[in-house]
Amino acid sequence: MLSERLRDDADAMAGDLAELRHRLHRRPEIGLDLPRTQETILAELDGLGLELTTGTALTSVVGVLRGGSSTADKPAVLLRADMDALPVQEESGVEFTSEIDGAMHACGHDLHMAMLVGAARLLSAQRDSLHGDVVFMFQPGEEGFDGAGRMLDEGVLNAAGPRVRAAYGMHVMSAKYPVQRFSSRAGTLMAASDWLKVTVRGRGGHGSAPHRALDPIAATAAIVTALHTFVTRRFDIFDPVVLTVGSMHGGTKRNIIPDEAMFDATIRTFSQAARDRMRTELPALCVAIGAAHGVEVDADYREEYPLTVNDDTEQAFAAGVIADVFGSTDMHETMAFPDAGAEDFSRVLASVPGCYLMLGAATQDDLAVAPNNHSPRASFSDSVLPMGARLHAELAGRALAREAVGS
């Protein structure tokens, strides 16, 4: 059977996938321009018989595998991996640690790429058994650069010709979930993510005479405190909002009152209603508190990624495939609550039905102390690579068979 061949082939390539992952990990690149990473992925896909194209606004790679079906209206499905790293100085201690100062694959995108390359190899070897086409989406710029949106603009959903009928992706986790265990949920899986950028403009002066200045530092502190109080006092706890100020800048020396100060906050919401309120009410609150301090405030609210929403039918399909492929319902955990993280794969899922999955890849048993994704000490287990490659291939193959029957 196809599943048995995929299992054996996936297990056989485990060492190769680990070597590829380590190579990618050593040479991370950040943002939308990833020339070395793109070159590596193109080389790995060479010879598989894929129709390969690269992006114009970003160094993406799209591969189309033509299945054995000869019908003109054969279906297509999409599999996605993100490619970019983070501006983090690695402290994981792994043998294949990053060789690039200030850059690290701290979110596991090196594993995502290796798993999708593995899936391309698995499926290309079984192309005659496929009931349609598979689009492989290798995407730069997930970490705050909206690479998915740019690839949609460049037509990735129609790369095979007809629009893909379903899309699947997965994300490894260095903590939270047991190693080699999948997790997902129907409906809202991850939060919407927005950016609040605030600049407070006062009047500088000597620290010994604050009454002769307009202190932007004091006003900024008051605004930050008020923002957190606003979230806890004005929003329903059953429609939660997460606000974190992650960056603050102001001043040069302890006895100098600066002319201005600034901060950046991330906002996570789980409903459009809460997101709409934050977009209008947060900037107004910042400006009002600034006025009370006699300073000017520019509050720029920028929408980033929408809610990541799994299609109910596709999520049930994916959970069923996991149970069947790996022989146990224990291999998949239904998340009780959405995750406050955000994903630009949300743009794909807003366009076509699909499912996004989490895959535990912790390297230690005590998940409570395991470094999380984005930590400079985050580490991920190579043992999940053949599993991820196989599940990608199974989801695509079975979805195509289902769509062909439905057609």
Domains detected in the chain: 2-190+307-406 (3.40.630.10), 192-305 (3.30.70.360)
CA–CA gap between residue 143 and residue 135 (Å, rounded): 22
CA–CA gap between residue 233 and residue 211 (Å, rounded): 32
Amino acid at 401: A
**44: helix, strand or coil:** helix
Q: What is the reported pLDDT for 226?
A: 96
pLDDT band at 69 (very low <50, low <70, confident <90, very high): low
Check pLDDT > 90 for residue 5. no
DSSP symbols for 340-395: S---TTHHHHTTS-EEEEEEE--SSS-TTTSPPTT-TT----GGGHHHHHHHHHHH
The average confidence (pLDDT) of the chain is 95
CA–CA gap between residue 375 and residue 357 (Å, rounded): 21
Q: What is the reported pLDDT for 328?
A: 85
Q: What is the reported pLDDT for 404?
A: 77
Distances 282 to 21, 228, 239, 269, 313 between C-alpha atoms, Å: 42, 11, 17, 13, 36
Letter string b/e over residues 225-248, b meaning 16 or more CB atoms within 10 A of that residue's CB = eebeebbeeebeeeebbebebeee
Q: What is the reported pLDDT for 329?
A: 84
For the four alpha carbons of 340, 344, 348 and 351, in that order, the dihedral sign comes to positive
**40: helix, strand or coil:** helix
Check pLDDT > 60 for residue 407. no
Q: Tens digit of pLDDT for each residue in 116-169?
A: 999 999 999 999 999 999 999 999 999 999 999 999 999 999 999 999 999 999
CA–CA gap between residue 376 and residue 92 (Å, rounded): 6
Q: Tens digit of pLDDT for each residue in 240-278?
A: 999 999 999 999 999 999 999 999 999 999 999 999 999
What percent of the chain has pLDDT above 70? 98
Q: What is the reported pLDDT for 1?
A: 42
pLDDT band at 403 (very low <50, low <70, confident <90, very high): confident
Q: What is the reported pLDDT for 72?
A: 61
CA–CA gap between residue 90 and residue 102 (Å, rounded): 7
Check pLDDT > 90 for residue 109. yes
Q: Are 96 and 382 in contact (CB under 8 A)?
A: no
Query: How open is the CA angle 174-179-180, to the nearest 5 degrees?
Result: 125
